[in-house]
Amino acid sequence: MFAYIVRRLALIPILLVGVSAFIFGMLQLLSPWERVAAYVSDPAALREGRDELELLIKKYGLDQPIHVQYLEWIKGVFQGNLGWSEAARMPTLQAIAYYLPASLELTLWAAVPLLVIGIWLGVMSAVHHNRWIDHVTRFISITGWSFPTFVFGLVVLMIFYGALGWFPPGRLSTWASLVVNDPGQFRAVTGMYSVDALLNGRLDIWADAVRHLVLPAITLAYLSWALLVRVTRSSMLETLRQEYVQTARAKGLSENKVIHRHAKRNALIPVATIGGMMVIGLLNGVVITETIFNYKGLGYWFAYAARQLDIPAVLGFTMFNGVLMVVGNLVVDILYAVIDPRVRLE
Amino acid sequence: MGWSRIVSVGLLALVLGFGASSQVKNPGQLIVVGTADAISLDPAWHYDIPSAQIIFNVYETLVFYERQRVDKFMPVLAESWEVSSDGRVYTFTIRTGIKFHAGGDLTPEDVAYSFHRAMIQDRTGGPGKLILEPLLGVKSMKALAEAEGDVKACERVKAAVRVDGNKVVMTLAGPFPAEPFLQILSGTWCAIVDKEWVIAQGGWDHDSATWRKWHDPKVEASELFDKMNGTGPFMLKYWKKGDEIVLERNENYWGEKPKLQMGVFKVVTEWGTRLLMLKEGDADFIAVPRANISAVEPLVGAEISGYPINKPFQPIVRLAKNPEGTVRVFKDLAGSSMDVGFMNFELAADSPFVPTLGGQPKPDLFSDLNLRKAFSYAINWAVYLEDVYLGEAVQPRGVIPQGVLGHNPNQPVYGYNKAKIIEHLKLAWGGEVWEKGFNLQVFYNTGNLMRKAACEMLEMYIEELNKERPGKPPFVIDVKDLAWATFLGHAVAGRLPLWFSGWMADYIDPHNWAHPFLHSAGSLAVRINITKDKALSAQFDALVSKGIGLLDPKAREEVYFQIQALSYEYATHIWLVHATARSYQRMWVRGWYHNQLEPGANLAALWKASLDSVTLGARGSLVIYGADADKQPAKHLWFWIENAGPGRVKVTFDWAGGYEAKDLAREYILEPGAFITKGGPHTWRASKVTVEELDGKRNTVVMYNFP
C-alpha cells in the first residue's frame, strides 16, 4: 500500500504541469490587450492614450511569447510564488491560505447534514421501499438535484433573511467582525470562526458565525443530497436482498439490528467512496453558493478573479483544486481499502 | 447569470412586500455596500473610486470643497493661502498643532514631501500626471527625466513645491486657472502624508539621486499599499481584503469631532444580496445598477430631486408609492461623465474593422463631413433619453457639459431629421455613398445596453433609407459588442470606425473636456485621428491652448463657446448623453450631500437618527433638529412634515430660541396626504412642532429632516 501511495503522490507534479500548461495555453488565446485588463480595474486609468496601455503590457510582460511567459511563471511556482492576485490584493498563495479556512469551515458544516441526513434518508428510503417515506425522500432529492444553486440560494436567502431576518449573508455580523479582527480581543487560530470562537471562549461569536453558516451550508448540502440518497438507497436495497440478510432475519434478530448492524455496514461501502468525493466536491462547488451568500471563501474569490481575468488567481485556484482532487481521491481509495478488507491497493 | 437576474427581480419584489423596520440599526456605524474593493490605500498610487473613498476619510488635503460646491474651497491643512497676481505662485500657510494618527506632527516638510513623492512615484495609469501637468508642464516623470536627467528632474520637482518657513510655495509651470488647480489639490492624490513615517515604512528617502527606486511601482510594492497614517477624522482599523474596510473615529481629531464612531465599507458583488442588506438595515448605502432600479422601488419612501450644481439645495420631495418605505433616493444628481459617439477620421493601418464603400475598403470613410453630419442627424434624442435613461439625462450641447464653465445653453445641436440624413448622404463622398452603399461596423462594450441602444438607433434610421434607393447596393450597419478591455484596446489604437464610449472628468474645468476630445494631442482625439483634417485640427489646437492660457472666466467662456460651435459645424462627434446619478440610502442617514467630485460618503458629515413620527391620540410633538440631537445649529437644513391621514391635523411651530422661518406660518391645517416642506442654507436650532388631530381619528404624522 505504501508504494501505491507514493506512486499516486508522485503523479501530482506531472498533473500540475499538465493542468497549468493547459490553462496557460487557453488564457493565451486572449490578446495582451484583454489580459492587461486584470491590471486596470478603473477604466479611467487607461484613457491617457495608447502609450499607457502598451507600457502596462510591457510592465507585466504580456507581450512575451507564450513559452517565455509560462517558464517565467513556472519558475516562480517552484520558488513558492504563484504571482500576485489583483482580485485578492495579495499574492496568490497567500490568498489561498487566506480564503481556505472559510471554505473549509463551510464545507465541514455542509458535510455534516449532507452525510448524516443524506445517508439516513437513503437508508430509510430503502427500508421503506415504495412507501410514503420513500416517495417523499425521492421527491426531495430529485428537486434538490434539479434546482440550480443560485435559484435555491436566492430563495432561501429571501425567505430567511429578506422576510424573516434570521440568517444574514456574509461570515459575521459587523459587531462580531470588529471583535474578530481585533488581535487584542480575539486570537485567530484556524481562521474558522466557529472553531476559533470556541477556542477563545466567545459563545456570542460562535452563535453569530453559525447563524451565518446555516443557509450556505444547507444550500450546499441540499443540492448534493440527491446523489447520496440515491446511491445509499440502491446499495441498501441490493444489500437487503442478500442471502446473509435473510439469514440474519431467519436467526430471529430484530429488524433494527438486521438493518443497522448487518445490512447498513455493507451497503455503505460504495457510499463511502461517493460521500468522500462529494465532500471534496463541496469544496470545489462553493463558487456560486459563496457568491450568493457573500461568503468570502475560495469560491467567492475565484468567481471574482475569473471575472477580472486575474490569471495568477485562476491558475492558482485550479492548481489547488488539482492537488485537492488527487489527494482526496487517494484518501478515498485508502478509506475504501480500510472499510472493505477484500480490496487491496497495489 | 441571466436567469439569476430574472429570478432575483421576481422574488425580491415578493419579499420586499414584507414590512421593514425603521428603528436605527448600528447607530454609530455607517455601512456602505459597494461592488468593488479598494485597490491601494496609497494616495499617490490609487486612481479609483473605492480606494479614494477610504483615503479621503483618513487623509486630508491642503484645501477642500465647501460641501456640495465644486467652485468654493475651504482651508483644511492649509490655514490660508495666497495667489500671486499672475496666478502662477500659490503660497499656503500650514496649520500648526496637528498630529498624524501615528503621533507625528504635521510640518510644512510633510506637505512638500507628499507632493514630491506623488510626482516621483507617477506610476503608469496613475494620478501623478494631474499634479505634474500644472506644476511642471509635463505629462509624466519619465518624460521629464528623459529630457533633463534623473537628478535635475527631481530638483525641478522639489523647486516646484518648496518650504518657506511655515509656508509651502507652489510655482506653476505656466498659466493654469485657479479653480481646476484647487480642485486638483482637493483630490485624494494630493493627500498629505507624514514624511518620517513614510520613510520608516521603506518609502523614498527624499534624495534626488535615488527616486528611480520608488518610481512606477507595482501596486503591492508601494510602501503605503495597505497602511494609512493621515490627519483626518477617521483612522484605518483594518482592511480585510476583498471583504471590508473599517475606519474608526479619530478621537484626537483637530477639527470638529465626527458623530459616527465607525465607517464600514463592504464589498458585496451579488446584487440581490446587496438589496436585501439595504432592506434589513445592514447597509445604509448600496450601489444600485440602473438596470435594477425597479427592484428597489418597493423600498423607497421618498424621492428627492432638485440638487443643483453650485447652488443652495432647494429640495423637491415626492412621496413614493410606499409610505412605509425605509429608503430615500436622491435623483438627478449631477454627474461628471458623458457618453459620446466617436467617428474615426481614418482608421489605424492594422484595423480589422475597415468599412467598405461600394465594396472597396475605405479606412477614412468618416473624414467626409457630410457623412458625419448624416450620422449626427440619426439619433432621436427625445426617444433615446426617455426610453433608455428614463428621462434622467440630457443631450449635451457640445463638449462642455452642464454646470461647467463654457457650457453654452444656446449652442445648436443635432436631432433626428430624416430629410437632413438623406440630404447629407447624397452629398457624402461626392454622391458615391448614396449610389454605391457602404458596409460599416459600429461598436459598444459588452453589457452596456445604453450604448447598444444608440448603435441600434443609427442602424435603424440609416438602413431604413435603403427603401428610398431601390436597386442600389444597400447601406449595411452591423452592431457589434466587444468585451471592455478588447473594446478599449481597439479604441485607443484607433482601430474602430464608429463606437460609443464615455469620459469622466477629474476636475470640473472645460480644459478637462476640450483637451482630451479635441486637441490633436488629446487622449480621445488621437483615437479618431482628428489630425486627418489638418486645418480643422489646427483650429482646435489654437483654441484649446488659448482657453487654458486665459485667467479671466468671461474670456475663457467665449473661447469654449467657439470650440463648441466649431465642433458642431464640423460634426466631430455625436455628443450622446450627459447622465445624472442617483443615491439610494436608508432614511435614517442624516447630513448627506452631493458633491460630484467627492469620491463617496463623507463620514465626518454624516450620522444616523430615526425618522421622527407620531401616531396621534389627540396631540403629539415632533422636533426639527439642528445639526444633531445636541441642538447644535445647522448650516443647511430642510424638513418635511407629512400627514399620513386619515383625518386632518393642525401643525403649530414653536421657533423659541431658533431661526424663525419667515415664510412659514405658525399654524397649518394639513389635509390627509398633505405636507409642509422648507429648506435652505440657514442657521437652525432644534424646534418643537406640535401636532393636533382635528377629526377625532387616530392620525399618523411623519416628519423627516436633515441638515
- Are B415 and B381 contacting, i.e. CB atoms less than 8 angstroms apart? yes
Report the helix count and the strand count for chain A, using DSSP H and E. Answer: 16, 2
Among candidate residues B518, B536, B538, the one with its CA nearest the CA of residue B528: B518
Grid cell for residue B36: 468593488
Segment B489-499, tens digit of pLDDT: 788 888 999 99
- Supply the pLDDT for residue B429: 97
The answer to whether B122 contacts chain A (CB < 8 Å) is: no
Provide DSSP, B441-492. EEEEETT-HHHHHHHHHHHHHHHGGGGGSTTSPPPEEEEEEE-HHHHHHHHH
Asked if B100 and B106 count as a contact pair (C-beta separation under 8 A), the reply is yes
Indicate the SS3 state at residue A205: helix
Place of cell 450601489: B287
Say which DSSP state A161 is in: I
Q: Which residues lie closer than 8 Å to A211 by C-beta, 6 or more apart?
A: A166, A167, A168
Asked if residue A174 has pLDDT above 60, the reply is yes
Query: Residue A45: is its pLDDT beyond 70?
Result: no
**Chain B contact present for A146, CB below 8 A:** no
**Mean pLDDT value across residues A73-98:** 83
User: Within an 8 Å CB–CB cutoff, is residue A151 touching chain B?
Assistant: yes
The nearest CA of chain B is from the CA of A35 a distance in Å of 8
- Residue A108: give the domain boundaries: 91-167+218-339
* Separation between Cα atoms, residue A255 and residue A264, nearest integer Å: 12
Is B17 exposed, middle or buried (CB count within 10 Å of its CB: 0-12, 13-18, 19+)?
exposed
Residue A309: list chain B partners with CB under 8 A. Answer: 485
Domain ranges of chain B: 2-32+245-335+582-586, 36-232, 337-579, 611-706
**B323 to chain A, closest Cα gap in Å:** 19
* A residues 8..37 contacting B (CB < 8 A): 31, 33-37
User: What integer is the mean pLDDT of B225-253?
Assistant: 95
Contact list, B237 vs chain A (CB under 8 Å): 178, 181
Distance CA B88, CA B131 (A): 14
Are A113 and A307 spatial neighbours (Cβ–Cβ below 8 Å)?
Answer: no
CB contacts < 8 A (A, B) = 167
The residue among A39, A41, A60 with the most chain B CBs within 10 A of its CB, best to mutate, is A41
C-alpha cell at B202: 521603506
Kind of pairing, strands B476-482 and B438-445? parallel
| Structural domain total, chain A | 1
Query: Is the pLDDT assigned to residue B509 strictly greater than 80?
Result: yes
Q: Kind of pairing, strands B356-357 and B244-249? A: unpaired
Q: What distance in Å separates the CA atoms of residue A228 and residue A271, rounded to the nearest whole number?
A: 7
Within 10 angstroms of residue A185's Cβ, the number of other Cβ atoms is: 12
**CATH dotted code for B611-706:** 2.60.120.1380
Contact B3 A150 (CB under 8 A): yes
Q: Which range has the worst mean pLDDT, A70-84, B75-89, B184-198, B275-289?
A: A70-84
Residues 287-306 of A with CB under 8 A from B: 291-294, 296, 300-301, 303-304
User: Yes or no: is domain B337-579 CATH 3.10.105.10?
Assistant: yes
Q: Which CATH class is domain B36-232?
A: alpha beta
Q: Judge whether A236 and A123 are in contact, CB under 8 Å.
A: yes
Distance between CA B128 and CA B143 in Å, rounded?
12
Q: Is B359 exposed, middle or buried (0-12, 13-18, 19+ CB in 10 A)?
A: exposed
- Whether residue A239 is contained in a domain is answered as yes
Examine the pLDDT at B240 and tell me if it is beyond 70: yes
- Over range A80-91, report the average pLDDT: 81
B677 C-beta neighbours (distance < 10 Å), count: 16
Q: Find all residues with CB under 8 Å of A292, minimum gap 6, and list them.
A: A149, A150, A153, A154, A157, A169, A216, A219, B270, B272, B273
Q: How confident is the model at residue A49 (pLDDT cuts 50, 70, 90)?
A: very low
User: How many CA atoms lie within 13 Å of B136's alpha carbon, on the beta-carbon side?
Assistant: 29
Q: How far apart are CA B436 and CA B698, in angstroms?
A: 77
Contact A50 B493 (CB under 8 A): yes
Output the pLDDT for position B13: 39
Q: Tell me how far apart the alpha carbons of residues A57 and A39 are, in angstroms, rounded to a whole number.
A: 9
What residues of B are in contact with residue A169 (Cβ under 8 Å)? 268, 273, 276-277
- Phi and psi for B570 in degrees, rounded to 5? -100, 10
For residue A303, tell me if it sits in a domain: yes
* pLDDT at residue number B584: 94
3-state secondary structure of B22: coil
- Nearest beta carbon to residue B242 from set A52, A155, A301: A301
Q: For residue B15, give the chain A residue with the closest CA.
A: A163
Contact present, B625 and B638 (Cβ < 8 Å): no
Mean pLDDT on B461-485: 91
Cα separation, B280 vs B691, whole angstroms? 30
β-pairing, B438-445 with B498-504? parallel
Q: Average per-residue pLDDT in chain B?
A: 86
- CB proximity A4 to B under 8 Å: no
How far, in Å, are A26, A112, A231, B162, B284 from residue A224 at the CA level? Answer: 30, 12, 12, 67, 36
pLDDT digits (tens, 9 = 90+) for A245-300: 888 888 888 888 888 888 887 888 878 778 777 877 777 778 888 988 999 999 99
Whether the CB of A88 is below 8 Å from some CB of chain B: the reply is: yes
A53/B26 Cβ within 8 A: no
Our CA angle for B131, B136, B138, nearest 5°, is 85
CATH number, domain with residue A156: 1.10.3720.10
Minimum CA–CA partner of B225 in chain A? A89
- The CA distance from A137 to A121, in Å, is 6
Helix or strand run (H / E) with residue B296: helix B293-296
Residue type, B54: I
β-partners of residue B438 are B357
Q: Cβ distance B578 to B396 under 8 Å?
A: yes
Integer CA distances (angstroms), A4 to A7, A323, A334, in order: 5, 17, 10
DSSP, collapsed to helix, strand or coil, labels residue B341 as strand
Strand-pairing partners, residue B476, are B439
Rounded CA-CA distance A277/A268 in Å is: 14
Mutate which: B7, B220, B246, B488, vs A, most A CBs within 10 A: B488
Contact flag B3-A31 (C-beta cutoff 8 Å): no
Residues B451, B480: Cα–Cα separation, whole Å? 11
Average pLDDT over residues B275-300: 89
Residue of chain B whose Cα is closest to the Cα of A294: B268
Question: H-helix or E-strand containing B55?
Answer: helix B49-58
Residues in a beta bridge with B164: B167
Find where cell 463620514 sits: B603
Q: Worst-scoring range by mean pLDDT, B460-474, B585-599, B648-662?
A: B648-662
Whether B10 contacts chain A with CB within 8 A = no
Contact (CB<8Å) A181/B240: yes
| 3-class secondary structure per residue, B62-130 | CEEECCCCCCCEEECCEEEEEECCCCCEEEEEECCCCECCCCCECCHHHHHHHHHHHHHHCCCCCCHHH
Identify the bridge partners of residue B285 per DSSP, sorted by sequence position. B32, B585
Q: Is the peptide bond before B646 cis (omega within 30 degrees of 0)?
A: yes
DSSP B565-582: HHHHHTT-EEEEEEE-EE
Q: What DSSP letter does each residue of A214-272 carry, written as one string?
A: HHHHHHHHHHHHHHHHHHHHHHHHHHHTSHHHHHHHHTT--HHHIIIIIIHHHHHHHHH
Residue B1 has pLDDT above 60, yes or no: no
Mean pLDDT over residues B222-232, rounded? 95
Higher local confidence (pLDDT), A34 or B440: B440
**Are A52 and B125 inside 8 Å of each other by CB?**
yes
CB crowding B25-53: b at 16 or more within 10 Å, else e: bbeebbbbbbebbbbbbbbbbbbbbbbbb
How far B572 CA sits from the closest chain A CA (Å)? Answer: 19
Burial B156-188 (b: 16+ CB within 10 A, else e): bbbebbebeeebbbbebeeebbebbbbbbbbbb
The ipTM is 0.76
Considering only residues B112 and B24, tell me which one the structure prediction assigns the higher pLDDT: B112
CB A53 within 8 A of CB A266: no
Residues contacting residue B412 through CB under 8 Å, at least 6 positions apart: B568
Q: Of the given ranges (A38-42, A248-252, B48-52, B426-430), which has the lowest mean pLDDT?
A: A38-42
Q: Does the beta-carbon distance from A44 to B47 stay under 8 Å?
A: yes
Asked if pLDDT for residue B102 goes beyond 90, the answer is yes
* C-beta atoms of B4 and A309 within 8 A: no
Q: How far from the centroid of its chain's Cα atoms is residue A141's Cα?
A: 20
Q: Report how far apart, in Å, the C-alpha atoms of B365 and of each of B479, B492, B616 are.
A: 17, 18, 72
pLDDT over 70 (residue A118) = yes
Across A51-69, average pLDDT? 75
Q: Where are the beta strands (DSSP E) in B347-386?
A: 356-357, 360-361
Which class for B666: exposed (0-12), middle (13-18), buried (19 or more C-beta within 10 A)? exposed
Contact criterion met (CB < 8 Å) for B272 and A158: yes
pLDDT at B309 > cutoff 70: no
Residue B333 has pLDDT above 60, yes or no: yes
Distance (Å) from the C-alpha of residue B8 to the closest C-alpha of chain A? 7
Q: Provide the β-strand partners of residue B643.
A: B701
- Residue B620: the pLDDT is 65
Q: Say if the Cβ atoms of B486 and A161 lie within 8 Å.
A: no
Residue that is written with C-alpha cell 520613510 in the block: B199
**H helices of B137-265, where?**
141-148, 150-160, 178-186, 195-200
Please answer whether residues A326 and A11 qualify as being in contact, where contact means their C-beta atoms are separated by less than 8 angstroms. Answer: yes
Note the pLDDT of residue A40: 57
Residue A346 lies in a domain: no
Which of B175, B188, B179, B169 has its CA nearest to residue B58?
B188
* Residue A48 touches chain B, beta carbons under 8 Å: yes
Q: What is the pLDDT of residues B346-373, one digit of tens each?
A: 999 989 999 999 999 999 999 999 999 9
> Is A256 touching B (CB cutoff 8 A)?
no
